[in-house]
Chains A and B, each alone.
Chain A
Amino acid sequence: MTDQVDSHDTQTQDDTAAARVPERGAELPRGQDQRVVLGHDKPLRLDCGIDLGPFTLAYSTYGSLNAEKTNCILVCHALTGDHFVADPHPTTGKPGWWHQIVGPGKIVDTDRFFVICINVLGSCMGSSGPAETDPATGKPWGMRFPVITIGDMVQAQARLMDALGIERLFAVIGGSMGGMQALEWAHTFPDRVFACVPIATSYRHSAQNIAFHEVGRQAIVSDPDWCGGDYLEHDKRPERGLAVARMAAHITYLSEQALHRKFGRRLQDRSTITYGFEADFQVESYLRYQGSTFVDRFDANSYLYITRAMDYFDLAEENGGRLANAFMGTKTRFCVISFSSDWLFPTSESRAVVHALNAVAANVSFVEVQSDKGHDAFLLDEPEFHETLQGFLDGAAEHLGLPRRGEG
């Protein structure tokens, strides 16, 4: 897939190839699963007040940048996502998390667009985060990693765009936490975003969502193997806590209808209930499986940090309590998309974003896709959603003067 010599199959931080990459000037590596170290000269001033630098970002690129550097689409991933947006995940071997959307001839067409997806700061797939080594101590950061925000993630991504020499993105697209990043991009860098597609997301995390996150965090820190966050040094992993966190969260990604359709009250490999606490029901077995596979690919401390970043996100609060202030004078074209059965980020949240954008006479499209698949619908095969996204991107490309589909 890539001709880059310094592609990475493992997630090591002390990576000499990445360390050699200069921050500006020379070409950054392109292709799947690359690393870049940024912030040598100028550390990233985080919202918490701490300077982070140098820091590493893991990313993948697809397609090629045009001569004018106007065809870049940044795809932002969700809470437990990563930069493997279109190519198989190295741990699970599963197809990229948005392979239906991103690829040659697909909606986010890598034949026409230069697509980049960056593992967020604080995550565990190669970007700087609590599981990586603190250069000051030579030990894993653990809970000594500074608390990061959605704003910090976006500032880090902007540094990478600077390093690539990309002044303006054609589009920033993301679902769930990725949508928060898309909104943050449009707010912080209005001149650098031509089009913004926040999907199944909100301008702020609701009390209910913070509550669910807190359940997950408490499950992790209550696991004795968490070891105050230093489990890596003790050669342990809080797998039970992380699995329970994932199980609780997974319920919020589905809908009552979807759960009922998939499982109902059907029993798991048995004809009658056992009057015990084994997984009698299919839905129990399914959740246990979701939890157990998640711990293979995700770091517990990263889960704490990233859920916290989402909790802290509130674009209205940051802008004097009025969301419209976040988008004053924006020239960005927005396409807000929600799903009717999403109760984690319900349509009312998207509508609030739309109302705020209307209040500043922004260019905005808004579609609520009818689906019974809950929040996860944005990751699934939803033809109406795909048509909307395709139409919006085609329209935006036409307005920017990029070639039409098929014109390459």
Chain B
Amino acid sequence: MTHIDTANQTVAQAGTVAAAGAPPGANAGIRVDLQLIASLVAPESRVLDVGCEDGTLLSYLWQTKRVDGRGIELSMDGVQAAVAQGLSVIQGDADTDLKDYPAGAFDYAILSQTLQATRNPRGVLEDLLRIGHRAIVSFPNFGYWRNRLHLVTQGRMPVSRCLPSQWWATPNIHLCTIRDFRDLCRELGVTVEAAYALDSQGRKSRLSADGSLANLMAEQALFLLRRK
């Protein structure tokens, strides 16, 4: 736990499950947030990972669950790395390229830490749930207490482990809180099958992401959604 900076200690002490996983960077498998996502995916299902980076999750899903995985990634370096591993990944953009896919083509559409960077999050979410029977979506929670405190006490846009960039450099153009996201799900008539409050490293909190406490205490959130 020594690697966790002070900004996260409160959350780590208050709510996280004791760190069973190795810290990021250790060779003990993939990041904990990706492990949590993988745990929600049924074996041998069809998965579209939107913003798949170098294909770490897809590779893990193939190795451990024989998942028929596809990926979309914006950065050419990420695509190149993924395809060179034998993964089915295309260079593309969540905002423009999801519309090509037919309805129900996948069992799961995954969007990890990307929703807040899209131009049209509502459209993207609708597309995810059109393409996939279920969607797995994670995002930084702007309602996290430190973000609120930062804004109230310093009068400046929060910069934290989950939101590392200054306002003028950030790709995050549509930040939201857990409560905001739930409102959108309700409006779209989407069923929330599971919701998790996460700390800055994606470790699952004991807090239920249903409660308002999570909106205050969770740095990130992860939702498993289903079309009604």
Contact = CB atoms under 8 A, between A and B. Distances in A.
Interface of A: 333, 335-336, 354-355, 358-361, 363-368, 370, 384, 387-388, 390-392, 394-396, 398
A358 B90 contact: yes
A270 B79 CA distance: 48
Given A366-B91, A367-B76, A367-B79, A391 B86 contact: yes
Contacts, number: 64
A396 to B, nearest CB: 7
B227 interface: no
B102 interface: yes
A395 B86 contact: yes
Contacts of A367: 76, 79-80, 83, 91
Given A361-B102, A363-B70, A391 B88 contact: no
B102 A359 contact: yes
B72 to A, nearest CB: 9
Contacts of A392: 83, 86
A358 B87 contact: no
Nearest to A366: B90
Interface of B: 68, 70, 76, 79-80, 82-92, 97, 100-102, 105-106
B86 A370 contact: no
Contact of A354 (B68, B86, B90, B106): B90
Contacts of A359: 100-102
Q: Is the interface of B mostly helix, strand, loop or mixed?
A: mixed
A355 B84 CA distance: 21
Most chain-A CB neighbours within 10 Å: which of B76, B79, B92, B100?
B100
Contacts of A358: 90, 97, 100-101
A333 B68 CA distance: 12
Contact of A355 (B79, B88, B89, B97): B97
B86 A398 contact: yes
A368 B91 CA distance: 8
A365 B80 contact: no
Contacts of B88: 333, 363-365, 395
Contacts of B84: 387-388, 390-391
A365 B89 contact: yes
B100 A396 contact: no
Contacts of B87: 365, 395
A335 B100 contact: no
A355 B100 contact: yes
A355 B93 CA distance: 12
A368 B73 CA distance: 12
Contacts of B70: 363-364
B15 to A, nearest CB: 39
Nearest to A384: B80
Contacts of A396: 86
A257 B125 CA distance: 42
Nearest to A354: B90
Given A390-B84, A395-B87, A398-B86, 13 more contacts: A354-B92, A358-B90, A358-B101, A361-B105, A365-B82, A365-B90, A366-B90, A367-B79, A387-B80, A387-B84, A388-B80, A395-B86, A395-B88
A386 to B, nearest CB: 10
A94 to B, nearest CB: 29
29 contacts: A333-B88, A336-B90, A354-B92, A355-B97, A358-B100, A359-B100, A359-B102, A360-B102, A363-B70, A365-B82, A365-B83, A365-B88, A365-B89, A366-B79, A366-B89, A367-B76, A367-B80, A368-B76, A368-B91, A370-B76, A384-B80, A390-B84, A391-B83, A392-B86, A394-B86, A395-B86, A395-B87, A395-B88, A396-B86
